[in-house]
Amino acid sequence: MKRLLIKNIGLLAGIDHDGKLCLKGKEMAELHTLPDAYLVIENGRFTDYGKMNDCPPPSGTDEVVDAEGGTVLPSWCDSHTHIVYAGSREQEFVDKICGLSYAEIAIRGGGILNSADRFHELSEDELYQQAMKRVDEIIRKGTGCVEIKSGYGLNTEDELKMLRVIRRIKETTRLKVVSTFLGAHAVSREYKGRQEEYVDLIINEMIPAVGADNLAEFIDVFCDTGFFTPEETARILKAGAEYGMRPKIHADELESSGGVEVGVEYKALSVDHLESMTEEEIEVLKDSQTMPTALPGTSFFLNLPFALGRKMIDRGLPLALASDYNPGSTPSGDMKFIVSLGCIKMRLMPAEAINAATLNGACAMGLSNEYGSITRGKVANFFITDRIPSVEFIPYAYTTPIVWRVFLQGEEYV
Ligand code: NIG
Ligand code: FE
């Protein structure tokens, strides 16, 4: 058995002793903390914590880490990314500065189709190498659980290639990875003008192939104006359900267009984006099993409105925050910045934003029984910060790097 003791923790934050799997409404403002603390990890899981005065002696411990007064937080749980992609799209960034919208770029055949062209050219190895640079980047910024979507293949062979890259990432990193099949990200160039046939291809060929190889635990559809309709989304979700893939939906990014409703109806684990959501969708989400997930990095980068995060929490809903790291709408996986945007632009309290980016993010991946808080028995994915004055400092100092040492499954990531 390997035993690790972290001592001299200035503030142990994100403790959950009640085994909550998700926080809603007022609960989101409760970020449990313990000053002057120690933390014990055995075989990669948290087993004990308490006040430094009661710190157990180091005997029987394989490693003692001195936190030097830094804050310990559970790793960020980023429940929505597209980090397997080829190259980058800074030309579109310039086009947007010059006045084109994300939707206009897509109509011209750029955007997702541009990434699909590049994706097709690269080998699995090259894609893996590119993605692993981003994996390394987000781990160093404190992410310990991540969801990764397919959706730059847009034909059966390339979608499978993309999901195999995600599986290889899963197998070769201590970062916790879950995968989502997003064949319905855009209609491929080949099927232009034949959207219905493309949906048939997803249902009849892609989903059975993905299911046969168990390549995805979740299924997603970009349900929005100019992409897929709620009716098409429903057909795709039904087909995915036959292979045990639970939905996570791209909804209401460009317009309020029925994605939340169809997601809730098909018991989606989450509905994500929500930049254009209205009060009506808040009502739809009440008493549902679906986690609303805001992606404020996308609002920031595309100059879109921000999801109604404050209102959702005030009406008693849960809320998760995720990065949406992708080459088109959010080329960043910096969860600390996402937490800052949640506070600055959506008026979340720092504690709410941190809970949204940890426990509720884990919940939006179906992982909150194992990740997302400092809880005895959970997997020890966490980071130690530099000495900081308070947890509020984290979103306040919105470009200051605070992560000092990162641990995944109880092992330091170096
Ligand atoms: O979540 N909105 C759809 N998909 C991604 C963007 C993908 C891209 O532009 O490459 C998103 O924002
Ligand atoms: Fe996305």
Whether 352 lines ligand 1, by a CB cut-off of 6 Å, is: no
pLDDT tens digits for range 335-344: 999 999 999 9
DSSP per-residue letters across 234-301: HHHHHHHHTTTPEEEEEESSSS--SHHHHHHHTT-SEEEE-TT--HHHHHHHTT-S-EEEE-HHHHHH
Nearest CA to ligand 1 atom 5: 329
C-alpha 35 to ligand 2 mean position (Å): 37
Of 84, 65, 180, 88, nearest to 123 by C-alpha is: 84
Atom 12 of ligand 1 has which residue's CA nearest to it? 329
Predicted local confidence at residue 1, as pLDDT: 83
What letter would DSSP give residue 54? G
Contact call for residues 322 and 272 (beta carbons, < 8 A): yes
139 C-alpha vs ligand 2 centroid, how far in Å? Answer: 19
- Position 106 scores a pLDDT of 87
Q: Is 259 in the pocket of ligand 1 (CB under 6 A)?
A: no
For residue 152, give the ligand 1 atom closest to its CA. Answer: 10
Q: pLDDT tens for residues 38-57? A: 999 999 999 999 999 999 99
Question: Which pLDDT does position 197 carry in this prediction?
Answer: 98
Which ligand is nearest to the Cα of residue 96, counting in written order? 1
How many whole angstroms from 406 Cα to the centroid of ligand 1?
29
Tell me which fold the domain 77-363 belongs to: TIM Barrel (3.20.20)
**Does the beta carbon of 253 lie inside 6 Å of ligand 1?**
yes
**Domain chopping of the chain, boundaries:** 3-74+374-413, 77-363
Ligand at minimal distance from the CA of 302 is 1
Query: 351 C-alpha to center of ligand 1: Å?
Result: 28
pLDDT of residue 369: 98
Query: Residue 143: beta bridge partners?
Result: 76
Q: Which ligand is nearest to the CA of 223?
A: 1
Residue burial 106-138, b: 16+ Cβ < 10 Å; e: rest: beeebbbbbbbbbbbebeeeebbebbbebbeeb
Name the residue with tokens 């411990």: 61
297 lines ligand 1 (CB under 6 A): no
pLDDT of res. 122: 97
> What are the backbone dihedrals phi and psi of residue 73, each rounded to the nearest 5 degrees, phi first?
-130, 150
Q: Which of 84, 144, 147 is nearest to 327 (CA)?
A: 84
Q: How much distance in Å is there from the Cα of 185 to the middle of ligand 1?
A: 8
186 lines ligand 1 (CB under 6 A): no
387 touches 70 (CB < 8 A): yes
Evaluate: CB of 324 within 6 angstroms of ligand 1: yes
CA 35 to chain centre: 29
- CB of 222 within 6 A of ligand 1: the answer is yes
Q: Which residues of the chain have pLDDT under 70?
A: none
Q: Whose CA is nearest to atom 1 of ligand 1?
A: 324
| pLDDT score recorded for residue 107 | 87
Q: Identify which ligand lies nearest to the alpha carbon of 87.
A: 1
Among 3.40.30.10, 3.40.50.720, 2.30.40.10, 3.50.50.60, name the CATH number for the domain at 3-74+374-413.
2.30.40.10
